[in-house]
Amino acid sequence: MSWIRTEWTAEEADEWTKEDLITIILSPLAYLLLTVGVALACLFMWQGYVLTVIGGICTYYMHKIIDPKLRAISSEYEKKQQEYLADLEASTRWEN
Amino acid sequence: MNVVFTFLDWFWVVMFLLLMIGSGILFYRLGKRSESDFFLAGRGLPWWLPASSVYATHTATDTPMWITGVSYKHGMAGIWYTFFSAWAAISAFVSTRIFRRSLAYTQAEWNVVRFTGIGAEMLRGWMAGWQVFMNMFILGWVGIAMGKVCEFLFGWEPWIGLITFSAVCAIYVLAAGYWGVVMADFQQGIIAFLIIMIVSIWGIVEAGGPSGIVEKLQNLDIQREARIETLAAMDANQLSSVSKQELAFFGADTTMTYQQIATLEATDFSMPRTEASRTNPFAFTGWATGDLPLAWCLTMIFIAILGGFGMGTTIDWYAEAQRIQSAKTVRDATYSIWWGTLVGLVRNSIWAVAILAFYVLNPWVFDVGEYEMGWFRLGFDYLPAGMLGFFFAAILAIHLSTISSHLNLGALYATRDLFHHYAKPDASEKELVWVGRISTLILLVGSFFFGLMMEDITSWLIFAIWIMAAGIWLPNILQVIWWRFNSWGYLSAWMANLAFSWLIVWILPHYGVLPELADYQQFWLLMIFGAFVYIPVTFLTKPEDMDHLVKYYVQARPVGFWGPVRKEAIRRGLINDPNAAATT
């Protein structure tokens, strides 16, 4: 999957990219497949096993695609968080 | 039914309650340190703790009743009722990220981060008041559900179960705040999941296993035909001893009189689905006809999934918002929402199969109140002695996890948005923690009154969901994705929704101006009517202040239509233009 980025700078990770788009397509699909798949698998129906396995694969790839980006966003944002929190408290206390 | 507990059963119950209260005492010192600790556990939790809280909070005492109700009535296709929680599929990667970056304690506070001026303040005050009320209301309806379970099991008056267990729960919430909630939720989530598996598997085995369930459903189809033949052969006098619910179940038109029904042939009885099709999750009753139309299901999936672009598109968002802010990073917040919801969805699937087992063991129960207790009956009818107490302890876990979350959440809005922001902005951390505790106590007492007033849980639940979701579903998305949507547009959407909800759901049908509409039809109508108010209001009022929008954009990096704000942020040098960087 060379077309999926795994290395992100902080600035690049802040942008909404194709990795986000693929994730928000895979994510509901995974929910849908796992919900129906588990129900049918509990009734020993072969369709249930197939759907559950496909749902699991969707979940795996979703994480593989989005996790590097989430890590980059998180590490960058944590550096600024204290400053933002101070701003938030100041606005609560009506100091600005 | 009256359940008799042995010593071992009471041992499980007492040990569980001691464990929960003990965890409150254990985290007392952490909870009292600051407002941030009492309500957000210091914003430092790894993803699996808020995830377990997401799961535990949304497994309430009334959840098995509700899921049993829809699964017993519709078979496996009833799981689509529970699919509304799939809003987290997109939200975890979009609105959760944006909200976590805003750092707002509550959704009410988010309004002043996103909007500005008097409109934003009005929104914050309104939403905070509304959430205090809603949490008290939820506490009441979940509390009285526990009261009904205790009445069902032990023959107690409903108020005893309501007051006793909510009060026990309040001990650890008062002591340790959100620290107590989330630590107890972790244990309660595990206990609840374990017992849901055990009881469900036990019930499935009692019904003859998965293949036994399928076989019994096929046999029920044969028995059903025989029953319809019997009903068709009855005269009006004999039919009058058959309930209308039973006649409706077997496909008779119950708007007819008994005399008219007596003239029907067996072929005139038309059941919406065969018994065997109860194993099919896609067994709808038509495009827009019957009690489970495909149009309803598509609306549900549409609302749920696309709602993830917004904030507050379902009632669950408000509790999740607290869990998002308690996660230590954006990544932790994302995974907490995604995984917590997935466990809930999978649990619903297993529950649905267990209810099929209950159905074949107890077919053709026509009284809703009776079959809604189906999952509880699987446990209390079939688990061996000594395990009953463990089952009841798990029911308490299910109950306490929801009560504790809403006690703390309601108190958060009262403390942070009402007291701290409006009454005493310079309050010390110690004062804020004490106000949090007093608010918790007020919510607890208020919930007793709500609970005792609530007779019909389902109709209130549906109305509350419409109030919170239908007419403001789209505005809740627009506030996230469209820079031009302003506080006046959003405020007008709320006001219009309150008025239209009452009109469309209650008043107009009551006076015959509108026919009784299905819930999914109400949703579309409320969405369209609301847009006629908030879209003109948005364009007739000024956009939010650009300085404020730029500050918000740089911090939260929202998705969607933010072009002018983004350009301004780039012009000010607050963010870099990746396109410009690519061309140099």
pLDDT tens, B264-302?
887 777 776 789 999 999 999 888 888 889 998 998 899
Residues 64-93 of A with CB under 8 A from B: 66-67, 70-71, 73-75, 77-78, 80-81, 84-85, 88, 91-93
Cβ-Cβ contacts under 8 Å, A88 against chain B: 103-104, 109, 113
Has residue A75 been placed in a domain?
Answer: yes
Query: Residue A88 and residue B90: Cβ atoms within 8 Å?
Result: no
pLDDT at res. B95: 97
C-alpha of B7 from chain center? 35
3-state class (DSSP) for residue B561: strand
Yes or no, beta carbons of B346 and A32 under 8 Å apart? no
> Which residues of chain A does B332 touch, with a Cβ-Cβ cutoff of 8 Å?
74
* Domains of chain B by start residue, with CATH: 7-25+47-210+297-456 (1.20.1730.10), 546-583 (no CATH)
Which residue of chain B has the CA closest to A28?
B89
Domain carrying residue A72: 16-92
Number of domains present in the structure of chain A: 1
DSSP state letter for B504: I
Cα-to-chain-centroid distance, residue B72: 19
In a domain, A62, yes or no: yes
User: B578 vs A12: CB contact, 8 Å cut-off?
Assistant: yes
Q: Choose the closest CB to B103 out of A70, A74, A85.
A: A85
**Closest partner residue to B330 among A40, A70, A91, by Cβ?**
A70
Q: How far is CA B220 from CA B339, B360, B362, in A?
A: 38, 8, 11
A72/chain B closest Cα distance in angstroms: 9
The alpha-carbon gap from A70 to the nearest alpha carbon of chain B, in Å, equals 5
Q: Which two tokens stand for residue A67?
A: 């996790």
Mean pLDDT of B476-500: 94
At residue B457 the predicted structure's pLDDT band, cuts being 50, 70 and 90, is low
CA A23/CA A61 separation, integer angstroms: 9
**HEC-encoded secondary structure of B258-311:** HHHHHCCCHHHCCCCCCCHHHHCCCCCCCCCCCCCCHHHHHHHHHHHHHHHHCC
Say how far apart CA B312 and CA B314 lie, in whole Å. Answer: 5
Note the ipTM here: 0.94
Chain A residues within an 8 Å CB radius of B46: none
A54 interface with B at CB cutoff 8 Å: no
Q: If DSSP codes are grouped into helix, strand and coil, which group holds residue B45?
A: strand
Residue A2 within any structural domain of the chain: no
Q: Is B352–A85 a contact, with Cβ atoms under 8 angstroms apart? A: no
Which of B439, B429, B548, B404 lies closest to B486 in space, CA to CA?
B548
In a domain, residue A4? The reply is no
A30 close contact with B: CB closer than 8 A:
yes
Residue type at B157 in one-letter notation: E
* Contact state of A11 with B112 under an 8 Å Cβ cutoff: no
Specify the higher pLDDT residue, B177 or B452.
B177
Helix H, strand E, coil C: the string for B147-160 is HHHHHHHHCCCHHH
Q: List pLDDT tens digits, range B47-106.
A: 999 999 999 998 888 889 889 999 999 999 999 999 989 999 999 999 999 999 999 999
- Angle between helix B209-233 and helix B158-206 axes, rounded to 10 deg: 110
SS (H, E, C) B210-230: HHHHHHHHHHHHHHHHHHHHH
CB atoms within 10 A of CB B260: 12
Residue A6 included in any domain: no
Tens of pLDDT, residues B159-189 = 999 999 999 999 999 999 999 999 999 999 9
